[in-house]
Amino acid sequence: MKKIFLRYTRKQLAVLAGGLCSLTACVDEGLNIDAYHITDEQLMADANEGGYLLPVMMNFIVPTSTALQTVQNLQAESYAGYMESPTNFLNNVNTMTYFMVSGWNNNSWYSSTNNVMNNWLLMKRSEIDVKYPDLYAIATIIKVAAVQRLVDTFGPYPYTQYGEGSEVPFDSEEEAYNAFFSDLDEAVTALQAAEAADPNADMVRFAKWDRSSLGGEYTSWIKAANSLRLRMAMRISGVSPAKAQQEAEKAVAEANGGILDRAFEIILTATNPYYTFATAWSDTRLSASIETYLTGFEDPRLEAYALPATGAGVVGQFKGIRPGVAKPDKDRYIGYSLPNISQADPIKVIDVAEGYFLKAEGVLRGWNMGGGTAQQYYEDGIRASFTYNGVSGVDEYLLSTGTQIAYVDPRNTANNSAPISTVTVQWNEAASFEQKLEKIITQKWIAIYPEGTEAWSEFRRTGYPRMYPIMVTNNPDLPLGTFIKRLTYPLTVISASGQAVANAVSQHLGGNDSAATPLWWDVD
pLDDT attached to residue 26: 37
Alpha helices by DSSP H, 96-240: 102-112, 118-125, 128-131, 133-154, 173-197, 201-205, 218-235
Q: What pLDDT does residue 225 have? A: 98
Residue range 401-413: mean pLDDT, rounded: 97
Percent helix / strand / coil, the chain, rounded to 5:
50, 5, 45
47 pLDDT more than 90: no
What type of residue sits at position 152?
Answer: D
Query: What DSSP assignment string belongs to 442-483?
Result: HHHHHHHTT-HHHHHHHHHHH--S--PPPS----TTS-TT--
Distance CA 291, CA 287 (A): 7
Q: Which amino acid would we find at residue 509? A: L
Q: What is the pLDDT of residues 417-440, one digit of tens each?
A: 999 999 999 999 999 999 999 999
Q: How far apart are CA 82 and CA 96, in angstroms?
A: 12
Q: Note the Cα 422 to chain centre separation in Å.
A: 27
Question: What pLDDT, in 10s, does the model give residues 314-345?
Answer: 999 999 999 999 999 999 999 999 999 999 99
Work out the number of other CB atoms within 10 angstroms of the CB of residue 521.
23
- The highest-confidence range among 2-11, 197-206, 300-309, by mean pLDDT, is 300-309
For range 226-253, the mean pLDDT: 98
Sort 252 into a burial class: Cβ within 10 Å, 0-12 / 13-18 / 19+.
buried
Q: Where does the pLDDT of residue 27 fall: very low under 50, low under 70, confident under 90, or very high at 90 and above? A: very low
Q: Report the alpha-carbon distance of residue 264 to residue 214 in Å, rounded.
A: 6
- Please list, in sequence order, all residues whose beta carbon lies within 8 angstroms of the beta carbon of residue 141, skipping any fewer than 6 positions away: 184, 187, 221, 224, 225, 228
Choice among 31-45, 174-188, 328-342 with the minimum mean pLDDT? 31-45
Q: Report the mean per-residue pLDDT for the chain.
A: 92
Percent of the chain with pLDDT over 70: 91
pLDDT band (50, 70, 90) for residue 39 = low
Q: Is the dihedral of CA 133, 135, 140, 141 positive or negative?
A: positive
pLDDT of residue 36: 34
**What distance lies between CA 22 and its chain's CA centroid?**
26
**CA distance linking residue 293 with residue 405, whole number of Å:** 7
| Residue count (the chain) | 524
On the question of pLDDT at 126 being above 90, the answer is yes
Domains of the chain by start residue, with CATH? 5-272+343-508 (1.25.40.390)
pLDDT in the model for residue 45 = 55
**pLDDT tier, 40 (very low <50, low <70, confident <90, very high otherwise):** low
* pLDDT confidence of residue 239: 98
Is 1's pLDDT higher than 90?
no
Tens digits of per-residue pLDDT, 379-391?
Answer: 999 999 999 999 9
Q: What pLDDT does residue 25 have?
A: 35
Predicted confidence band at 46 (pLDDT cuts at 50, 70, 90)?
Answer: low
Distance CA 290, CA 318 (A): 9
**Tens-digit pLDDT profile for residues 511-521:** 999 999 999 99
Q: pLDDT of 54-105, one tens digit each?
A: 999 999 999 999 999 999 999 999 999 999 999 999 999 999 999 999 999 9
Backbone angle region of 212, left / alpha / beta, with phi > 0 → left and psi within -120 to 50 → alpha: beta
Q: For position 228, what pLDDT does the model report?
A: 98
